[in-house]
Amino acid sequence: MNARKRKILKKLLENKKPITSEYLSRLLGVSSRTVRNDIKELNEEIKDKAIKIITLPGVGYFIKFTGGDIGKDVIEEVLDDDNNAVPSMPDERVRYIIKRLLTADCFITLEELATELFVSKSTIVNDVNTVEKWLSKHNLRLFRKPNYGIKVKGNEMNLRFAISDFINEQNNNLTLFDVSSYEEMFKDISLEKIKNIISEAQKDMDYKLSSISFSNLLIHIAIAIKRIRQNKSIDIPDDAIKNMKNKREYMVAQNIVKSIEKNFNVNMPEGEAIYITMHLLGAKPFEDNNLDLNDIRKIVGDKLINVVKKMIYEVGLFYNIDFSRDKELIIGLALHLKPTLNRLKYNMNLRNPILNEIKDEYPDAFEMSITASRILKREYSISIDENEMGYIAMYFGAAIERLKIKTKKINNVVIICASGMGTAQLIATKVMRTFPWLNIIGKYPSYKLEEVTKANPDLILTTVPINIVDIPVIQISSILSKDDIERIGKIINIDSNTRSDRIALLNLFDERLFVKNLKIKDKFEIINYLSEMLYKNNYVYEEFKKSVIERELISSTSIGNLVAIPHSTLGYAIESHIAVAILEKPINWGNDKVQLVMMLALDKMTDNEFQCIFNELFDVVNDYETVLKLTSAKDITEFINIMKNKEK
């Protein structure tokens, strides 16, 4: 089974609804006819596996399990059995080449790679260019020597971190007790022995490693053994050695080193004990145990507390949301960042197994973490990747949820009007049309305030000044102006499940910001194209484009399902708008195929407004059938109608 067929199987398994050949063809970059042929061949290959791919004309494909629950297990078995197949997709070839280069101790020729992968040398040249970009992110380079081939060059510690990153990228769902996925990289090293050594060492520690920290340390020790056997060791600066030897974790690291030397018959230099100490310090958790801010300050130091407050202030400045009084956020971030800074100081990586879920479920919190991380980068001169940002986003996500709990839900409204019941009825009708979920429980003249308080409303709208303290009051005009509606919207904390959010989203589209059948194959060229479109229409400042590119370099804005949503991290919008590009054909955007690009240019708004727009947009584009319709839209009018008619 080739890589393309495996992708088809995985996609069918992920989706509960039938998937069309058109959608699969765009996702895979092949014709619908090729997809149909693949489906036919797949059914032949899996006909004895208690599963079958059913075709519903005009509807699509779906998997039928003919053997009960066993069918899903069979699919996973089929996919696992095929892991050793020769890579055929470009991204799989790139991973294969990266692995070969990282594990090789000598030069590799392009001809060798072409022979191993059954492709031409020119194809390998293109793949190697992509490999170089991956290596550069880890401060490594590709060394070319005529008549010898290619080889990875760089600092030993950077090389080890790159190997660790590569392994984690391939084994994103790995658990603590499942080391089998690592074994292919370390065929001559017993990972079970390393696991037992770490478990034994934990008995001398006053804390337990998290599952992620445990597996991270296991990988790095296995890499260390492999590299030492190749006569490669880490060069640790003298000041770092002196600093680490004073730590309690250094004694634990020494015990780990002694056990490794005994079990694996290797001689580990002193730098390796320091290397393990760094890992233990980077994994050390801190519990709040109901401590107050002064206690936390003693643990993490004044500087870190002040940096956390700067991070929260920066987020508040950009998203117009006040977290400054949220002590749980301040304490949680400070305790999280203390060990994180130890890791980042030495460029130590820690994968985030739920990163994609965080980006999908809490896009607003993830964007806040990007804004906050700029402060960390500036204050400590460190690089922060999207895995670490994902952890920071979890704290902001929790803070957002706490704000929702504290914000009283407004349902029942009364109207006070001095100019008669006719005007009051007109106001009530307009309010219900704009905010249909609100319940108008009464309309009163201004002299019946006692009856108003007895009705116990959540909100009072009045055309005259009144003196009521315990209930929110908004004074409005007799015609309920646009400004009045905006003030009502802000105080009632508009629910993102309402139709008004869809209307707010649709108002951001503009026929001057819509392009169809765009023939550009590079995502940064598309970003440049749409940024220029917004700039020429005076919707953004000149700096907007640079900010969008910087955001894209931090973490891909592709959200899957053929959609990317590039945007700025620093605003630079004069008016809030969305520029749309429907590409002629899907292109590679990060790890995904993308055909629909929607660039957000959002002027300063409240967190609630920002969250509502993001949630509404994600609700629309997460449905693959809607995305297919949107990519087929002839013009902006049809595009907006498709979005408008998409059911929640």
The residues, any chain, with a CB within 8 Å of residue 553's CB and separated by 6 or more, are none
- Kindly state the tokens that stand for 329: 């956020």
- How many angstroms separate the CA atoms of 445 and 419, rounded? 8
Kindly report, residue by residue over 446-498, the tens digit of the pLDDT: 878 888 988 989 899 998 888 887 788 899 987 788 778 878 877 775 443 44
What phi-psi label fits residue 518: left (phi over 0), alpha (psi between -120 and 50 degrees) or beta? Answer: beta
- What are the counts of helices (DSSP H) followed by strands (DSSP E) for the chain? 28, 13
- CATH number for the domain whose boundaries are 3-81: 1.10.10.10
Here the tokens at position 20 are: 């069309």
- The whole model's pTM is what? 0.64
pLDDT at 638: 93
Weakest mean pLDDT among 312-326, 393-407, 550-564: 393-407
Of 110, 40, 105, 49, nearest to 81 by C-alpha is 49
Class of domain 293-402: mainly alpha
pLDDT surpasses 70 at 81: no
pLDDT of residue 248: 84
With 70 as the cut, is the pLDDT of residue 126 above it?
yes
Domain borders along the chain are 3-81, 90-154, 158-283, 293-402, 412-492, 500-645
User: At the fourth CATH level, which superfamily is domain 158-283?
Assistant: PRD domain (1.10.1790.10)
Mean predicted confidence (pLDDT) in 407-423: 77
Q: Is the model's pLDDT at 636 over the cut of 90? A: yes
Question: Which residue is associated with the tokens 């109608």?
Answer: 641
Task: Report the DSSP pairing between strands 577-589 and 509-518.
Answer: parallel
pLDDT band at residue 176 under the 50/70/90 scheme: very low
One CATH from 3.40.50.2300, 3.30.590.10, 3.30.450.40, 3.90.600.10 for 412-492: 3.40.50.2300
Among the residue ranges 233-247, 287-301, 436-450, the one predicted with the least confidence is: 287-301
Res 21 pLDDT > 60: yes
Segment holding 195, helix H or strand E: helix 191-201
User: Is 124 buried (19+), middle (13-18) or exposed (0-12) by CB count in 10 A?
Assistant: buried
Q: Write down the pLDDT at residue 113.
A: 93
Q: Which helix (H) or strand (E) holds 528?
A: helix 523-536
Closest CA to 176 of 141, 143, 225, 213: 213
Q: How many CA atoms lie within 13 A of 572 on its CB side?
A: 19
Contact assessment for residue 600 and residue 565, using Cβ atoms and an 8 Å cutoff: yes
CATH of 90-154, one of 1.10.10.10, 1.10.10.60, 3.40.50.300, 3.20.20.80: 1.10.10.10
Please report which confidence band the pLDDT of residue 92 belongs to, taking 50, 70 and 90 as the band edges. confident
Other beta carbons within 10 Å of 401: 12
| Burial classification of residue 469, based on how many CB atoms lie within 10 Å of its CB (0-12 exposed, 13-18 middle, 19 or more buried) | exposed
Q: What pLDDT, in 10s, does the model give residues 487-497?
A: 887 777 544 34
| Confidence at residue 69, expressed as pLDDT on a 0 to 100 scale | 53
CATH superfamily of 500-645: Mannitol-specific EII; Chain A (3.40.930.10)
Question: Buried b vs exposed e over 510-522: b needs ≥16 C-beta within 10 Å?
Answer: beebbbbebebee
Question: How many angstroms separate the Cα of 77 from the Cα of each of 70, 74, 171?
Answer: 10, 5, 16
Where does the pLDDT of residue 91 fall: very low under 50, low under 70, confident under 90, or very high at 90 and above?
A: confident
26-30, 140-144, 308-312, 345-349: least confident range: 345-349
**Among 231-235, 536-540, 633-637, which is the least confidently predicted range?**
231-235
For tokens 């949680």, name the residue: 332
Fold match, 90-154 / 500-645: no
Return mean pLDDT, the chain: 83
**CA 43/CA 32 separation, integer angstroms:** 17
Cβ(423)–Cβ(473) below 8 Å: no
The DSSP H or E segment spanning 148 is none
Burial of 600: CB neighbours in 10 Å, binned 0-12, 13-18, 19+:
buried
CA distances 140 to 111, 162, 164, 287, 463, Å, are: 23, 9, 14, 37, 68
